[in-house]
Amino acid sequence: MEEIIFNEEELKEVEHHKSKYPDQKSAIMPVLWMAQKKWGWLSKEVMEYVGQLLNLPYSHVYGVATFYTMYFKKPMGKYHVQVCTNVSCMLRKGDEIFKHVSEKLNLKTNEATEDFKFSLEEVECMGACGGAPMILINEEFHENVDINKVDELLNNLK
Ligand code: FES
C-alpha cells in the first residue's frame, strides 16, 4: 500500500500555506487540494494525515472535505470531466452535452469508469458563462463546445 506522506518539497509547500494565515487551520483547503492532486482522492488515511500536519482532528478535516464537492471522497478517473448544465450553458445545449457524455462513458454524475480513466460530474455554474457551453477536464476549461468538440477532446485523451 502506498505510504501516505508528502515529500520534502511538498512539506515546504504545506509550511508556506500555513505561514499565510494567522491560524494554521486556515491552510486546510490548499493542503487538501495538494493531497487530492497527489493521491487522486481523499481517503480516511489522507484526511488523517492532513489533520496531523495542521494539528486538526479528523472530524474537522472530514467536515471540510465533505462540504466542498471539489474534494473527492472516493476514487475518481484520471480524467475528471465536469459538464456545466446551469442556465447559460443549458440554454446553449449544456444539458444535451451532459447527456451525451453520460451515455458515451456510461456514467452518471459522480461515477468513474471501471478502469478509472474517466469520471463525470454534472456541475453548477463554473463562472465561464461567457464561453457557454463549457466543460472542464481536470483543471482545463473548454468553452463554446458542442458534441463533436467534446467527442474529439475525450477521444484524444490517452
Ligand atoms: S452557466 Fe455554465 S459556466 Fe456559468
Task: Please give the pLDDT value at position 34.
Answer: 98
Q: Is the pLDDT of residue 1 over 90?
A: no
103 within some domain: yes
96 within some domain: yes
Residues 38, 83, single domain; the answer is no
Sheet-wide strand order for 79-84: 111-112, 118-123, 79-84, 135-137, 140-142
134 within some domain: yes
Closest CA to 82 of 117, 42, 40, 124: 124
| pLDDT > 70 fraction of the chain, expressed in percent and rounded | 99
How many domains are contained in the chain? 2
Residues 62, 85, single domain; the answer is no
- Domain CATH number, residue 117: 3.40.30.10
Cell numbers of 33, please?
A: 487540494
56 CB-near residues (< 8 Å, 6+ apart): 25, 28, 50
Helix 58-67 to helix 28-39 angle (10° resolution) is: 80
Give the type of residue at 143.
Answer: E
Task: Please give the pLDDT value at position 149.
Answer: 98
pLDDT in tens, 100-152: 999 999 999 999 999 999 999 999 999 999 999 999 999 999 999 999 999 99
pLDDT in tens, 50-93: 999 999 999 999 999 999 989 999 999 999 999 999 999 999 99
The mean pLDDT of 8-15, rounded to a whole number, is 98
Q: Rounded to the nearest whole angstrom, what is the distance from the C-alpha of residue 144 to the centroid of ligand 1?
A: 11
- Domain CATH number, residue 45: 1.10.10.1590
Q: Rounded to the nearest whole angstrom, what is the distance from the C-alpha of residue 157 to the centroid of ligand 1?
A: 24
Whether ligand 1 lies within 6 angstroms of the CB of 84 is answered as yes
pTM for this model (two decimals): 0.89
Write phi, then psi, for 131 (nearest 5 degrees).
Answer: -110, 25
Under a CB-based contact definition with an 8 Å cutoff, are residues 151 and 108 in contact?
no
Q: Give the domain-ending residue among 25, 45, 67.
A: 67
**Whole domain around residue 43: which residue ranges?**
8-67
Task: Please give the pLDDT value at position 13.
Answer: 98
DSSP reduced 3-state for 84: strand
Residues 91, 151, single domain; the answer is yes
Q: Give the domain-ending residue among 67, 88, 105.
A: 67
Task: Please give the pLDDT value at position 2.
Answer: 79
CA–CA separation, 18 vs 40, rounded Å?
22
Under a CB-based contact definition with an 8 Å cutoff, are residues 122 and 109 in contact?
yes
Q: Rounded to the nearest whole angstrom, what is the distance from the C-alpha of residue 82 to the centroid of ligand 1?
A: 11
Residues 63, 84, single domain; the answer is no
Q: Give the domain-ending residue among 31, 47, 67.
A: 67
The mean pLDDT of 13-26, rounded to a whole number, is 95
Residues 104, 83, single domain; the answer is yes
Task: Please give the pLDDT value at position 86.
Answer: 97
The residue to mutate among 83, 92, 121, 125, having the most atoms of ligand 1 within 8 angstroms of its beta carbon, is: 125
Whether ligand 1 lies within 6 angstroms of the CB of 119 is answered as no
72 within some domain: no
Q: Rounded to the nearest whole angstrom, what is the distance from the C-alpha of residue 116 to the centroid of ligand 1?
A: 26
pLDDT in tens, 128-141: 999 999 999 999 99
